[in-house]
Structure 1
Amino acid sequence: MSLRGTREVSKNYQIFRLTGLLDAFSEPAFRKVIGNCIDEGPKDVVLVLSQIDFIDSSGLGALVQLVKQAQTGGGSLQVVTNPRVTQTVKLVRLEKFLSLQPSVDIALENLKK
């Protein structure tokens, strides 16, 4: 599989640290796994994409769906990026909607209380 990751769950939030490619090949499993975890809770989520080598339109679409899912459940989703991911997201003007953050610490501070 082209995408790997770990999940860390605390009382109020969960953090996913992902590596590899977030593309059309990995997107269905990514969306299903993260979506199920959002449903299980906690509802506030930090996706750490700083080790992602590539993201395509399928990956961006999955991120948009996951943000909406978290918000519908009363939570939020923060995305920690690297320059490559940030550039791709900015091309489609989703940087504010996807709550791009430079670090996990800042993302945690920005989670809804």
Structure 2
Amino acid sequence: MVFTFKGQLDAFSEKQFKTFVTNNLKNDLPFVIDLTKIDFLDSSGLGALVQTSKECKKSKLGFSVVGNSRVAQTIKLVRLGDFLNLKSSLEDALNYLKN
């Protein structure tokens, strides 16, 4: 499954993001969070991604994050790339989940 988000992932949208992702964790299917259309990612958004990662690891559910250069740079700046399974393209993320 691929979930594509657009706009901003910040303090104002983080609750909606977490609710959406949590509801879809019940599917027990590996998924990709596609953030290539996100214009802005702040610490609240990063917190939501970290929480998602923790929930997935607890449930042994595969997931990966794909971001545009701005999002990827923000994630790497706080050294969360490996923790969030950050990949450079949707194709890379899907291949990661197949393995």
> Is the pair's TM-score, using the shorter chain for normalization, greater than 0.5?
yes
Match of 2:22 in 1: 35
The answer for unaligned runs of 5 or more in structure 2 is none
Q: Is the Cα contact below 8 Å between 1:47 and 1:78 reproduced in 2? A: yes
Q: Which structure's relative contact order is higher, taking Cα pairs within 8 Å and 6+ residues apart?
A: 2
1:92-107 pair list within 5 angstroms: 92-107=78-93
Give the letter aligned to residue 30 of structure 1: F
* CA distance in 2: counterparts of 1:36 and 1:17, whole angstroms: 15
Greater fraction helix: 2
The answer for unaligned runs of 5 or more in structure 1 is 1-13
* CA distance in 1: counterparts of 2:24 and 2:8, whole angstroms: 20
- SS of the equivalent of 2:52 reads helix
Give the letter aligned to residue 71 of structure 1: K
Q: Which runs of 4+ in 1 moved over 6 A?
A: none
Match of 1:49 in 2: 35
Q: 1:71-94: per-residue Cα shift (whole Å, max 9, x none)?
A: 211212100111100111122111
Of 62, 71, 84, the residue aligned with 2:70 is 84
TM-score, structure 2 normalization: 0.93
Q: Is the Cα contact below 8 Å between 2:28 and 2:61 reproduced in 1? A: no
Shift of 1:111: 0.9
Identity between Structure 1 and Structure 2 (%) = 46
TM-score, structure 1 normalization: 0.82
Give the letter aligned to residue 22 of structure 1: L
Greater fraction strand: 1
Shift of 1:40: 2.7
Give the letter aligned to residue 38 of structure 1: L
Q: Is the Cα contact below 8 Å between 1:31 and 1:66 reproduced in 2? A: yes
Q: Is the Cα contact below 8 Å between 1:76 and 1:112 reproduced in 2? A: no
